[in-house]
Chains A and B, each alone.
Chain A
Amino acid sequence: MSGIRRVEARHLARSPLLWLGFALGMWVIAGSLWSYWPSLPGEALLAYESGFLVSAGVVWAGAWLGLRDRVSGAADLVTVTPTAPWRLWRARLVGVAVVAAGAYALVFAATLAVSAARGGRGMPDLRLLADGALAVVLSGLVGVAVGRLSGSRVVALLAGPLWFVLCMVAGDPWGRRLSPALVQTGLPSAEFGFLPDPFWPHLGYLLGLVLLAGVLLLTLAARGGGQRPPLAPMLAAAAAGLVLVGMGGARLVAFPEAIVPLGPDRADWKPAAEADMVLADPSYAYPEDGRATACAGDAPSVCVYPTYGTGLARHVHEAVQPVAGLLGGLPGVPTRVRMVPVGAAICHGGELQMGEEDLRLLQPSRALAAHYLTCALGGSDDPELPHSPADHSRDAVRLWALLAGGEMTREELQRASDNDLWQLGLPGDRPPPAVAPALAMAALPVGQVRAELAPIWERLRAGTLPVAELPGQGP
């Protein structure tokens, strides 16, 4: 039967439906790949989540294989051979599994290769390869079952997209956990991994489903043919499948939706709802854990997790240094930017803490600089928070620093202020009243503004300085 396996695998590998799924997966991956600083663990997850699109193609190809004997009319020719139908289908299913897993592995490998070529580092979680491959193999078996049971070309044609939608649009956390492809709510941390980590139980769960689907299909093949597969291995496989699905499924539904590390110790890792309350406290800061050791620059220094290398630290430093240089030495201005596992941007004790996901996302340097300035000025990026007229002073200084640091031009600012400052891609949503004072300050020499800001700095940071007292606002 090895010959049949090879032939089926070869034909499936030539299936345009399979390659359609493959191309779709690669297209989605390519669309996201350049949005992030390269890291092999991150790209492994990207390949896992987007590579699952391959499964739609595999379902299609599997469904056509399931239909093939009936649609082509060759069923009689196959039936009158001495080969037991279950043996034939076992060989065919192995062929499907090999090609399905191979197609996914190709997506996975290609994604990591591109990441590595871009300088991606770190150790990818190979469970993502195994889990994705099992999910795609399962989709192939589901496709075969759909083709065999429905006998309909229309159903086979719809099976691919429907399968994908069913797997991806699971409404509740349980549904998402029990779907063949796990949909993560956020990127995993290169330092902390997946929180919670559902992959071991999910691997067992998927393996169980694959076993059950295999047993079902072989039983289906043997139906009416008289030649039955050996009972003991079939029962053993079915029992193992049930146990794995039951145990894996029970573990998966018991997981909390998300766990947030509020500190380096496991005791500090809290379910999302609990963590949200802690993170809402303005006094919260992520403790020093010694993990962000890949550093670059000085005043401020930028430190990220070693997986991302000093390349990312340099990238962030280059973004914030021009504005940091304008304000260096003033009280409260951060002297360090540090990657932490939580939050978007936390300002504490002369340190700007930025969440791993935010830092990895290749934000425009203007946005990174604006985060730094928000921390330096003691304000908030949050547009939801109420702001006083005094906040306009901080906003004006922030905009001046961006102008003076070369992060944007006067024309850009003027143009955006006529419409909406969001056009500049800045965090926060402040009204235009800050724009005119910023432009006025920008008209002065940088040294003069810096010198005039020094005596009013504390009041500015405290949010009690009126706009009229800013440099260049006098009569």
Chain B
Amino acid sequence: MTSGAHVRVEGVRKSYGGVVALAGLDLELRPGITGLLGPNGAGKTTLIRILATLLAPTAGEVGVNGWRASSTRDRVEIRRRLGYLPQDLGLYPRFTVFEFVDYLAMLKELEDPRERHRRVRAALQAVELEDLARRKIRTLSGGMRRRVGIAQAIVADPELLLLDEPTTGLDPEQRMRFRQLIAGIGEHRTVVLSTHLVEDVAAVCTAVVVLWQGRVRFHGSPSQLRKLADGQVWTSPEDGPGAVASWRTESGAYRVLGPRPSPAAEPVAATVEDGYLLVTARSRKEAAA
């Protein structure tokens, strides 16, 4: 069994015309599951696409196991170790599920048909699509298509798995199974999971990167992110004026993130989402200052 990839992102900048998507990123990703969090436009997808060798950075370098993405020869080596699920997933509608995953497996240099077919079946089983293997892709629902995308990403047992919004369109049960699947893969592989869903990150990630306006605002474990909010989460009968975020809960009380909103407020345990909200709020404040 191969091990996960060691990914180094050094001074990566990416700009589209005058718009800076990534502003000099330095990251080191090791085997395990890294969650990539950030608001819309933070640069998550740009970073994933650069890691996937689809985009060349304006400056800086990405290395995977010592191979440089800027080198044509090295890029092929990186791609040999890569599984990728894009945010905007496109599939061949006239192919069957099996044909499509098999097609991508061929492009991933799985030459031996018997072994390749075994792996395709295993990948489809992992995403619970084995019963739909002969169905035309055009007949599948959005969630099923997403699972086809996940199957093609994992079919070649990649050392580096890049997943951009993988749980979009999945129902809660499928999301739970997806988490189980990714957790298993992440034991030995490097998985980068870009998502809006903090609960996905909290559930399976061993590391979290929070991006904000193309910069890394946090890089640590989910528990470290959660700890940032320790002592700053309250349940209160009234909303606090200086709150980072607050919302009314089912009981009628407010859950407040920030300084103690009132003497009547009671402290509650922080979550990873609280930590994430705190990081983005601080980033926003710093930017405004």
Could you say which residues of chain B place their CB within 8 Å of the CB of A77?
A: 84, 86, 89-90, 104, 149, 152
A81 and B90 contact, Cβ closer than 8 Å, known pairs A76-B84, A227-B72, A227-B76 = no
Whether A74 is near chain B, meaning CB under 8 Å from some CB there, is yes
Contact A72 B88 (CB under 8 A): no
Contact of A76 among B54, B80, B92, B107 (CB under 8 A): B54
Interface size on A, residues (CB 8 A): 24
Which of A14, A75, A77, A79: most chain B Cβ within 10 A? A77
Closest to A70 in B: B90
Whether A11 is near chain B, meaning CB under 8 Å from some CB there, is yes
Whether A280 is near chain B, meaning CB under 8 Å from some CB there, is no
A226 and B75 contact, Cβ closer than 8 Å, known pairs A68-B92, A74-B91, A79-B54 = yes
State the Cβ distance, A96 to closest chain B Cβ, in Å: 15
Contact with A along B67-87 (1 / 0, CB 8 A): 000001001110110101010
Contact of A74 among B49, B80, B92 (CB under 8 A): B92
Whether B113 is near chain A, meaning CB under 8 Å from some CB there, is yes
Whether B53 is near chain A, meaning CB under 8 Å from some CB there, is yes
State the Cβ distance, B176 to closest chain A Cβ, in Å: 26
Q: Give the segment of B21-29, B93-101, B165-173 that binds chain A.
A: B93-101
State the Cβ distance, A328 to closest chain B Cβ, in Å: 70
Whether B210 is near chain A, meaning CB under 8 Å from some CB there, is no
State the Cβ distance, B74 to closest chain A Cβ, in Å: 10
Could you say which residues of chain A place their CB within 8 Å of the CB of B53?
A: 80
Contact A4 B107 (CB under 8 A): yes
Contact A88 B107 (CB under 8 A): yes
A3 and B76 contact, Cβ closer than 8 Å, known pairs A72-B90, A73-B89 = no
Could you say which residues of chain A place their CB within 8 Å of the CB of B104?
A: 77-78, 81
Contact B86 A76 (CB under 8 A): yes
Could you say which residues of chain B place their CB within 8 Å of the CB of A78?
A: 104, 107
Interface size on B, residues (CB 8 A): 33
How distant is the Cα of A7 from the Cα of B106 in the complex, in angstroms? 10
Could you say which residues of chain A place their CB within 8 Å of the CB of B94?
A: 11, 14
How distant is the Cα of A191 from the Cα of B93 in the complex, in angstroms? 53
Contact A80 B92 (CB under 8 A): no
Contact B113 A3 (CB under 8 A): yes
Whether A383 is near chain B, meaning CB under 8 Å from some CB there, is no
Closest to B116 in A: A3
Whether A290 is near chain B, meaning CB under 8 Å from some CB there, is no
Contact A83 B107 (CB under 8 A): yes
Whether B109 is near chain A, meaning CB under 8 Å from some CB there, is yes
A73 and B79 contact, Cβ closer than 8 Å, known pairs A4-B103, A226-B72 = no
Quick one: which of A36-94 are within 8 Å of B by CB?
A: 68-69, 72-84, 88
State the Cβ distance, B68 to closest chain A Cβ, in Å: 12
Contact B90 A76 (CB under 8 A): yes
Closest to A69 in B: B90
Whether B196 is near chain A, meaning CB under 8 Å from some CB there, is no
How distant is the Cα of A157 from the Cα of B109 in the complex, in angstroms? 34
State the Cβ distance, A2 to closest chain B Cβ, in Å: 9
Contact A80 B52 (CB under 8 A): yes
Whether B108 is near chain A, meaning CB under 8 Å from some CB there, is yes
State the Cβ distance, B7 to closest chain A Cβ, in Å: 15
State the Cβ distance, B78 to closest chain A Cβ, in Å: 9
Closest to B85 in A: A77
Could you say which residues of chain B place their CB within 8 Å of the CB of A72?
A: 90-93
How distant is the Cα of A423 from the Cα of B189 in the complex, in angstroms? 86
How distant is the Cα of A469 from the Cα of B99 in the complex, in angstroms? 87
Which of B80, B103, B104, B109: most chain A Cβ within 10 A? B103
How distant is the Cα of A76 from the Cα of B48 in the complex, in angstroms? 12
How distant is the Cα of A75 from the Cα of B79 in the complex, in angstroms? 15
A81 and B107 contact, Cβ closer than 8 Å, known pairs A11-B94, A73-B89 = yes
How distant is the Cα of A14 from the Cα of B92 in the complex, in angstroms? 14
A80 and B84 contact, Cβ closer than 8 Å, known pairs A7-B103, A227-B76 = yes
Which of B84, B106, B111: most chain A Cβ within 10 A? B106
Contact with A along B209-230 (1 / 0, CB 8 A): 0000000000000000000000
A11 and B89 contact, Cβ closer than 8 Å, known pairs A4-B103, A81-B107, A82-B79 = no
Quick one: which of B44-73 are within 8 Å of A by CB?
A: 49, 52-54, 72
Could you say which residues of chain A place their CB within 8 Å of the CB of B109?
A: 81-83
Contact of A82 among B49, B89, B90, B108 (CB under 8 A): B108
State the Cβ distance, A206 to closest chain B Cβ, in Å: 30
Could you say which residues of chain A place their CB within 8 Å of the CB of B80?
A: 82
Closest to B75 in A: A226
Could you say which residues of chain A place their CB within 8 Å of the CB of B82?
A: 80
How distant is the Cα of A81 from the Cα of B81 in the complex, in angstroms? 9
How distant is the Cα of A205 from the Cα of B152 in the complex, in angstroms? 43
How distant is the Cα of A74 from the Cα of B149 in the complex, in angstroms? 10
How distant is the Cα of A81 from the Cα of B158 in the complex, in angstroms? 11
How distant is the Cα of A190 from the Cα of B279 in the complex, in angstroms? 87
A80 and B89 contact, Cβ closer than 8 Å, known pairs A3-B113, A226-B75 = no
Closest to A228 in B: B72
Could you say which residues of chain A place their CB within 8 Å of the CB of B54?
A: 76, 79-80
State the Cβ distance, A147 to closest chain B Cβ, in Å: 14
Could you say which residues of chain A place their CB within 8 Å of the CB of B89?
A: 73, 77
How distant is the Cα of A73 from the Cα of B80 in the complex, in angstroms? 21
State the Cβ distance, A223 to closest chain B Cβ, in Å: 13
Could you say which residues of chain B place their CB within 8 Å of the CB of A226?
A: 72, 75
State the Cβ distance, B206 to closest chain A Cβ, in Å: 24
State the Cβ distance, B277 to closest chain A Cβ, in Å: 31
How distant is the Cα of A72 from the Cα of B88 in the complex, in angstroms? 10
Which of A14, A68, A74: most chain B Cβ within 10 A? A74
A-B contacts, 22 listed (Cβ < 8 Å) = A1-B106, A72-B92, A72-B93, A73-B88, A73-B90, A73-B91, A74-B92, A75-B90, A76-B49, A76-B90, A77-B86, A77-B89, A77-B149, A77-B152, A80-B52, A80-B54, A81-B79, A82-B107, A83-B108, A84-B76, A88-B107, A227-B76
Chain A residues packing against B (C-beta within 8 Å):
1, 3-4, 7, 11, 14, 68-69, 72-84, 88, 226-227
Q: Which 7 A-B pairs have the closest CB atoms?
A: A73-B90, A81-B107, A226-B72, A74-B90, A82-B79, A83-B107, A82-B80
Knowing that A73-B89, A75-B90 touch, tell me 16 more A-B residue pairs with CB under 8 angstroms.
A1-B106, A3-B102, A3-B111, A4-B103, A4-B106, A73-B90, A74-B92, A76-B52, A76-B84, A76-B86, A77-B152, A79-B54, A80-B52, A81-B104, A82-B108, A226-B75
